[in-house]
Amino acid sequence: MEDKYTNYGNIKIGFGKNPAIVVIDFQRAFTDQKFAMGGAPLIERAVENTQQLLISARAKAVPVVKCIMGYGSIIEMPHWKVAACHDLILGRPECEFDKRIHEPSYDITIVKSGPSIFFQTPVITILTTKHIDTIIVTGCVTSGCVRASIIDSFQYGFKTVVAEDCVGDHEERAHKENLRDVERRYADITTSSQVIKYLHDLKK
Amino acid sequence: MEDKYTNYGNIKIGFGKNPAIVVIDFQRAFTDQKFAMGGAPLIERAVENTQQLLISARAKAVPVVKCIMGYGSIIEMPHWKVAACHDLILGRPECEFDKRIHEPSYDITIVKSGPSIFFQTPVITILTTKHIDTIIVTGCVTSGCVRASIIDSFQYGFKTVVAEDCVGDHEERAHKENLRDVERRYADITTSSQVIKYLHDLKK
Amino acid sequence: MEDKYTNYGNIKIGFGKNPAIVVIDFQRAFTDQKFAMGGAPLIERAVENTQQLLISARAKAVPVVKCIMGYGSIIEMPHWKVAACHDLILGRPECEFDKRIHEPSYDITIVKSGPSIFFQTPVITILTTKHIDTIIVTGCVTSGCVRASIIDSFQYGFKTVVAEDCVGDHEERAHKENLRDVERRYADITTSSQVIKYLHDLKK
Amino acid sequence: MEDKYTNYGNIKIGFGKNPAIVVIDFQRAFTDQKFAMGGAPLIERAVENTQQLLISARAKAVPVVKCIMGYGSIIEMPHWKVAACHDLILGRPECEFDKRIHEPSYDITIVKSGPSIFFQTPVITILTTKHIDTIIVTGCVTSGCVRASIIDSFQYGFKTVVAEDCVGDHEERAHKENLRDVERRYADITTSSQVIKYLHDLKK
């Protein structure tokens, strides 16, 4: 049965000419140990690597689109099975960006209400006005909002690249399984150092 | 670290009062052994169980929305890494529904171009006009188009239920890992017999 | 030629059982004379009538979804031909709700970036979780964001009703022509007093 | 009051570097006199001018995306107030393209179910993969599906240009009023000869 999978992943996508970086949910609910879902080691690693990647991106004037998940009130939520998501109310510290990746004078900020940064947000319009062809995905959680955002980046027609060490999860197993799934179908998986090299060489 | 996951999956969704069934990609490319990705055992099992579930759904006048993935030509595709997806051209046998689940005089047919049945298709409008509150997910592939459709069903605000034995994959591992991910966050996982019982008892 | 139009508007939609009110762009940029586009007589009339209509809606626990148009910065905008739209930056007084229609403890607030309240916003998910079947449209400007929101309400499958005296424009001609267009195709046109009567009689 | 409108339309959009042509609903229901809504003079004029414009576009390898409005069955429709729309069932002659504008080996075909060619269709993904920055709008009906498509083209962030003599309506008044509305806000209005000149000079 397994060899049916020889049909998967046999095409490489590559980088395009006009990339944007998306940063998924690096907000204190997930990056600050103080909160129920905050501060897992793989997420901590991802924040630190993304911090470096964003310095390179901003230096080359590559757009950085960062999102938080947040709601005006609990009645605006879809049917979350994760009780801690009920704390993601705008104005609370759970919805603040992690300072390490936040550059408010440069970055574009999106408030999203579903797992995907593209779902019911203005991201597509922002990317269209800038003629973006490539999305580089960073953020958390790999098996949740990152996975959903990768699917949508692919569905919208972008070349989609995931920097493996810039995305994180509460669990290594879920992290790896999800990257395996998406690499077979939708996205190239690479590292932050490869992305930084690509950004450095980019002609803009 | 793992105990961070005690925050996941601690809420049960349940069934609503006005369900619809979605059937993802039970087309010959995936169900007929003749084709490169066709006829995996878990998918065969899913077709047979879905066939029974749909008989119950139609008997209770519950809407059945079935999709195929198909394109007018190769230039209309997103950047698929799966070479066999390049054969999903409308008019070819790969895009025909599997006969076992097809009832053209009853079912609603959707042609989709991304993994999710909801993405850039009229499904939401059809569900809105019928005041649907619950989506029961069947089809294939669990780690691809089924996963993407579950995320969107959740994101659009539906109570989302997956009949585990009505969804299938080329690989048991990917099947299980993906159901684990979505059960923690977005959807209840149940069986076709539980869904059939629910449909039987439904007051319409 | 004109009699080709006998084909238009020959079906009445009617009210459903589970309505929501949408309020488009009653923000100070359009309702406060201090600003370039603020305080036109038809918009003033619409604010006052909507204020009354919302009292009835809240008394019956009917959802009220209000939006403003606003952007994080000018680089997030689509290609507006209206220079005054460049002032719609979040945090500025142009993006504050008009106090007469604002009840923050009850209403749901949406920030939108295009003309339609449905476009790239969480509105559909909020309406789906509440099983809404009918949208009652109020707000401004009739020939701009109201028109766009009516089209989307129709496209998403809702019964769509416009209270004529609750929508306003800078110009009477554009107001009337746009209501004529949408009444022929997408929506019933009625008055605030008819909507208030419907809300009063509503069984919830 | 009218001078509030001095705020409208005071910015020119211009053409970009990478255009696509969209052709809205030039299907026999609207272009063939045999049908209730078919063959109005302004629509006939628009078909003939669009035919010429498309020859120029194809000669320069500019993408042509054409749509019809069509449904699998009546239960899939939103709440149309236009009785003749109930005849737009896929497979019927009302859903065939007008031969004058149809080049199936070149054009991309979209089946849509709402007024806008962008709504719940794969158009955005197709345009993203081609890095389109400019949409040139042709088709019918100006005060219906053309207006809705112009709004969405703008909302998605494209430079939007309407060739006035390539769009048509059943009524001259509605045609003019709608072009006036959109020119003030969302799109430049030009002529087919200007577009043909632009296409001729385009460097690709």
What is the ipTM for the molecules in this complex?
A: 0.96
Q: Do D129 and B73 touch (CB under 8 A)?
A: no
Dihedral sign of CA atoms B161, B162, B165, B166 in order: positive
Q: What CATH fold (topology level) applies to the domain C17-201?
A: Rossmann fold (3.40.50)
* Confidence check: pLDDT of A101 > 80: yes
Contact B195, B159 (CB under 8 A): no
User: How many other C-beta atoms lie within 10 A of the C-beta of residue D178?
Assistant: 25
CB of C3 less than 8 A from some CB of D? no
Q: What pLDDT, on a 0 to 100 scale, did the predictor assign at position C165?
A: 98
Q: What pLDDT, on a 0 to 100 scale, did the predictor assign at position D2?
A: 46
Place of tokens 């910065």: C73
First and final CA of chain B: distance in angstroms? 46
Residue to substitute from C131, C151, C152, interface B, most B β-carbons within 10 A: C131
Spell out which residues of chain B touch residue C131, defining contact as CB-CB under 8 Å: 18, 131, 133
DSSP letter (8 states) at residue D3:
G
State the average pLDDT over residues A171-176: 97
Distance from CA of B15 to the nearest CA of C (A): 13
Q: For residue D65, how many C-alpha atoms fall within 13 Å in the half-sphere facing its CB?
A: 27
Contact B159, B18 (CB under 8 A): no
CB of B90 less than 8 A from some CB of D? no
State the average pLDDT over residues D127-143: 97
CA C202 remoteness from chain centre: 21
Question: How many helices (H) does chain C have, and how many strands (E)?
Answer: 6, 6
Distance from CA of D105 to the nearest CA of C (A): 30
CB of C108 less than 8 A from some CB of A? yes
Q: What pLDDT, on a 0 to 100 scale, did the predictor assign at position D146?
A: 98
Q: What is the mean pLDDT of chain D?
A: 95
Q: Do A122 and C124 touch (CB under 8 A)?
A: no
Amino acid at site B108: I
Q: Do D170 and C4 touch (CB under 8 A)?
A: yes
- pLDDT tens profile C94-111: 999 999 999 999 999 999
**Domain boundaries defined on chain D:** 16-201
State the average pLDDT over residues D116-132: 97
* Confidence check: pLDDT of C6 > 80: no
CB of B152 less than 8 A from some CB of A? yes
DSSP letter (8 states) at residue B4:
G
User: How many other C-beta atoms lie within 10 A of the C-beta of residue A55?
Assistant: 12
Q: Which tokens hold the place of C61?
A: 């626990």
Separation of alpha carbons B77 and B72, rounded Å: 9
CB of B131 less than 8 A from some CB of D? no
User: If DSSP codes are grouped into helix, strand and coil, which group holds residue B21?
Assistant: strand
Q: What pLDDT, on a 0 to 100 scale, did the predictor assign at position D5?
A: 55
Q: Band the pLDDT of C2: cuts 50, 70, 90.
A: very low
Contact C41, C142 (CB under 8 A): no
Contact C151, C116 (CB under 8 A): yes
Q: What pLDDT, on a 0 to 100 scale, did the predictor assign at position B1?
A: 40
Q: Do D157 and A18 touch (CB under 8 A)?
A: no
Q: Do A157 and D18 touch (CB under 8 A)?
A: no
CATH class of D16-201: alpha beta
Of D9, D143, D160, which has the smallest distance from its Cβ to C181's Cβ?
Answer: D143
Q: What pLDDT, on a 0 to 100 scale, did the predictor assign at position B136?
A: 98
Q: Please tell me which residue of chain D has the smallest CA distance to B128.
A: D78
- pLDDT tens profile A102-161: 999 999 999 999 999 999 999 999 999 999 999 999 999 999 999 999 999 999 999 999
- pLDDT tens profile D67-116: 999 999 999 999 999 989 999 999 999 999 999 999 999 999 999 999 99
Separation of alpha carbons C115 and A196, rounded Å: 38
* Confidence check: pLDDT of D7 > 90: no
Q: What pLDDT, on a 0 to 100 scale, did the predictor assign at position A9?
A: 73
Looking at C85-186, which runs of residues are DSSP E strands? 108-112, 134-140, 159-168
Distance from CA of D2 to the nearest CA of B (A): 38
Of A76, A108, A125, which has the smallest distance from its Cβ to C120's Cβ?
Answer: A125
State the average pLDDT over residues C104-124: 97
User: How many other C-beta atoms lie within 10 A of the C-beta of residue A130?
Assistant: 17
Separation of alpha carbons D126 and D50, rounded Å: 21
Q: What is the mean pLDDT of chain C?
A: 95
| Low-confidence residues in chain B, pLDDT < 70 | 1-7
State the average pLDDT over residues C145-169: 98
Place of tokens 């230096």: A59
Spell out which residues of chain D touch residue C187, defining contact as CB-CB under 8 Å: 81
